[in-house]
Structure 1
């Protein structure tokens, strides 16, 4: 009962996030890392073991990480188990890999982690990993030294994804604790949730001064809930915990396979400001029975209407990312309508269609699943293979010096003013707000473009902060919508000019 009261208290007043920039000052790299649109990839099978990706570290008869570490310790002893794990992490990615990522314009990597690896296993008390924590005593430092530092040297950010939660946020083996098909017990255990609040306080504090952290993900693939009050309570409590040490870092939550559910929650929780949350939606079209009944061309066509659509107020105020996707379709789909004979072309069409929609609807970016496999390549699960095939292409780099702001503004402001004046000649519009929004967006976009051709991505949080500045300087109005229209058009025109 005490745990429930403490958790509810933490969740009761979700704090606003700091603006993603400092008023009147130039942007620094840290701010850009936290708000640019990312072309990214997951490091699946690294810190959270998955047998189908890297199998050698799994002793015979084991299928999830808990089983693997338990049997390794039993068979080889804790020291040898620790060494085997550390060798796996340390050798997972080479300098050549990092350089390949940089050369192919990857801007961010999402690194799945288990709660058992944070701060040397200090957050395992009362969990199934408590007896094996010693194996993980160097995991957090290896993450920082072997992953975060070399990424930063190449202007690549890292998304910290606490993928495995105690008891599991879902019943799959990637929770680390069960071999699949089990029950997710995390949501019914307030003690586990409070443990995660402590864990995320540490993560936020320890990484608060690290420049190239794109965000902190507090759950992966939360199981669907028709009434998500337990998830909402956990989200609120962890957001409050993180904000006690870092008021600006993006915090990523799961959409629980129902994006609009969390659009409504974010909108109602933050009001007119921002709580600095990004909603993570995963895009797979190879698992459901419904998708298996479709031929690939239909799946490709249907993406338009079933990916991040039908959102309350068109998702106003809510930033999205796609934390996982692939180019994989089920064998049943490939066996329909002769699709297998055109597989290469259809894979390319599918991947390009996904990226096109992600870039429009998931403004914080997307992360392919996954980067590498122990044996050969993973085909349509394999990032390098799909990049080489041309199915996955980075978005174009933007140029800070492209286009002429005043020239573009003049034509767009005239078109905007003429249109609305004709709609109602008696209305006293405030077209200067449109101009202010347009100029602000263009200038911000130009600042992002100076850093490796980056594009402003976390647009909703950015707009909330910029419009607050505008209102502070020029007052609120029923015509504030003109500022928003100007800002959106400014971003669009800058991108088109680059």
Structure 2
């Protein structure tokens, strides 16, 4: 155990920076760096009984239990067929069209470690005895989900939702219902997952539309997360051995600022290509249950991704899960039930507004579909039809600002910047051309993104950091490099405003 722990720790050292090529953004880069309006495919590859119940025979409650019971009762071949029918039939052609028509740009797909590469990574785990059920799961994942998503201009976030022993005590680890988060005390499990992540990075590298690889879902809260730090570092390095660019997504363990600081510390020499995943639920904590729905909506402004070190500089966020659900105790307050429909719409729209501002990588509703009827305020289609959620970055099909607008707006912004600083400090020898360079870089990159289905630069911190490194290499650092950064920010905003 001690040796294994040291091995994980040593693998966590020296996380490399991610470099941007100097060319125009490629299709792959646009998938990796754009802002996403997304949804989760809950209960597809990681079963959850409350969403899809058919595979939970004889009162089973979590996936391992369901797989064991299916195999013993139906036999291996029939159990395998039943699971594969579930995966193969989960998405219809109409579903894919619906997603595209509603401007969904990315799917976050929860996957269990037991499904990767035909169950190869189940040795020594609780899933080893049922791995034959999953021997085609990874192939189906690629052909029926990654490839079909790509046909519709949609990216896939590969979310390793279930880890050996569980990254938290919830049933979606697949192995148990409740209990401890045993993954963090097992260095052998962590090393095995690093091997698995290396395989995933290599095996999926041929697909342009892999939006990111998430190394853990909802890590248990830890006041001193040293085990998470070591695993995250080792996981990132394992992925980077095979793919130098794909975004690596880490869980914030319900404490965003803790991981903002960690990423910032690791980025002394440039951006490391990490996205921090935060989940926004206002239906679970005792604190939220004490609030009325209007109070919850009002408080979002001050409690969703706020109070971050240095304003979160250099760190890109995603909201990997959110819903329009508030607890029954909240609805019982202030006669809120009488205005429920309106308040649900207000809640969804307020979340969308703030996530659009604060989650550069995007936000992913939980969840897409339910086996029986609809899931109400957990249901993506229902909430879309109600008008509670919609895509605020739906620029596909809109005419793209031309170079005349670029030149006109660029001149206005440049003159405003130059006049302000020259008047503020007439004796200073500024380098205002850096501002112009930054503006043009941001505008031209934005235009290339827009040409692919109306995409918008979303991982601004990472993209900006990469372009800044190129600028410094070409023009030197100097004390006025901040002018390039101001120009870049102005260029991003100007392009979006001109759309």
TM-score tier by shorter-chain length is over 0.9
8 Å CA contact 2:393, 2:456 repeated in 1: no
Mapped contact 2:84–2:137 kept (Cα < 8 A): yes
Question: Hey, what does 1:78 align to over in structure 2?
Answer: 76
Report whether the alignment pairs 1:128 with 2:126. yes
Q: How does 1:37-52 map to 2 (within 5 A)?
A: 37-52=35-50
TM-score, length-scaled by structure 1: 0.98
The one of 113, 116, 119 equivalent to 1:115 is 113
> Does 1:281 find its partner at 2:278?
yes
Q: Tell me by how many angstroms 1:14 deviates.
A: 1.4
Q: Which residue of 2 aligns with 1:2?
A: 3
Q: After superposition, give the CA deviation of every residue in 1:134-156 in whole Å (9 maximum; x if it has no partner).
A: 11000000001111111111111
Q: Secondary structure at the match of 1:160?
A: strand
In the alignment, which residue of structure 2 is the partner of 1:225?
222
Alignment partner of 1:324 is 2:325:
no
Matched, 1:412 2:413: yes
1:401 equivalent in structure 2: 400
Following superposition, the deviation at residue 163 of structure 1 comes to 0.3
Q: 2:254 aligns with which of 247, 254, 257?
A: 257
State the partner residue of 2:484: 483
The worse-fitting range, judged by mean Cα deviation, of 68-77 and 245-254 is 68-77
SS at match of 1:320: strand
Task: Give the match for residue 357 of structure 2.
Answer: 360
* Displacement of 1:397: 3.2
Judge which range, 432-441 or 279-288, deviates more. Answer: 432-441
Counterpart among 330, 342, 345 of residue 345 in structure 1: 342
- In the alignment, what sits opposite 1:297? 294
Q: CA deviation at 1:400?
A: 6.0
CA RMSD of aligned residues (A): 1.1
Q: Is 1:187 aligned with 2:188? A: no
Instruction: Give the equivalent residue in structure 1 for 2:475.
Output: 474
Deviations along 1:439-469, one digit per CA (max 9) or x if unpaired, are 1111111110001111011111101110011
Unpaired segments of 5 or more residues in structure 1?
Answer: none
Q: Deviations over 1:204-234 (max 9, x none)?
A: 0000111111010000000011101100000
C-alpha separation in 1, matches of 2:430 and 2:132: 66
**Partner Cα separation in structure 1 for residue 258 and residue 242 of structure 2:** 28
Q: Distance in 2 between matches of 1:246 and 1:162?
A: 17
Q: Which residue of 1 aligns with 2:57?
A: 59
2:308 is aligned, of 307, 311, 320, to: 311
Shift of 1:401: 2.6
Q: C-alpha deviations, 1:58-102, integer Å up to 9, x for none?
A: 012211101111111121111111111001111001011001101
In the alignment, what sits opposite 2:102?
Answer: 104
Taking the aligned partners of 2:171 and 2:423, their CA distance within structure 1 comes to 60
Equivalence for 2:172: 174
Q: Post-superposition shift, 1:250? A: 0.3
Mapped partners of 2:110, 2:450: distance in 1: 29
Matched residue, 2:32: 34
More displaced stretch, 421-430 vs 223-232: 421-430
CA distance in 1, matches of 2:26, 2:433: 29
Q: Give distance in 2, aligned partners of 1:353 and 1:420.
A: 37
TM-score after normalising by structure 2: 0.97
2:145 matched to 1:157? Answer: no
Pick aligned residue for 2:194 from 188, 197, 204: 197
Tell me the distance in 2 between the aligned counterparts of 1:7 and 1:465: 29
Count of aligned pairs between the two proteins: 494
Note if contact 2:250-2:275 (Cα within 8 Å) is conserved in structure 1. Answer: yes
- 5 Å-filtered alignment, 1:348-497, equals 348-398=345-395, 399=398, 401-402=400-401, 404-497=405-498
Provide the C-alpha distance between the structure 2 equivalents of 1:484 and 1:52, rounded to a whole number of angstroms: 48
Q: Tell me which residue corresponds to 2:242.
A: 245
Q: Secondary structure at the match of 2:58?
A: coil
Q: Indicate if the aligned counterparts of 2:18 and 2:273 stay in contact, CA closer than 8 A.
A: yes
In structure 2, C-alpha distance between the alignment counterparts of 1:131 and 1:390, rounded to whole Å: 46
Asked if 2 retains the 8 angstrom alpha-carbon contact of 1:400 and 1:447, the reply is: no
Q: How far apart, in 2, do the equivalents of 1:222 and 1:81 lie?
A: 31
SS in 1 for 2:38: strand
Q: 1:28: Cα distance to partner?
A: 2.2
Following the alignment from structure 2 to structure 1, what is the Cα–Cα distance between the partners of residues 355 and 425? 37
Shift in Å, 1:5: 2.2
Contact 1:400 1:449 in 2 (8 A): no
Q: CA deviation at 1:496?
A: 0.9
Residue number in structure 1 paired with 2:137: 139
| Runs of 4 or more consecutive aligned structure 1 residues displaced over 4 Å after TM superposition | none
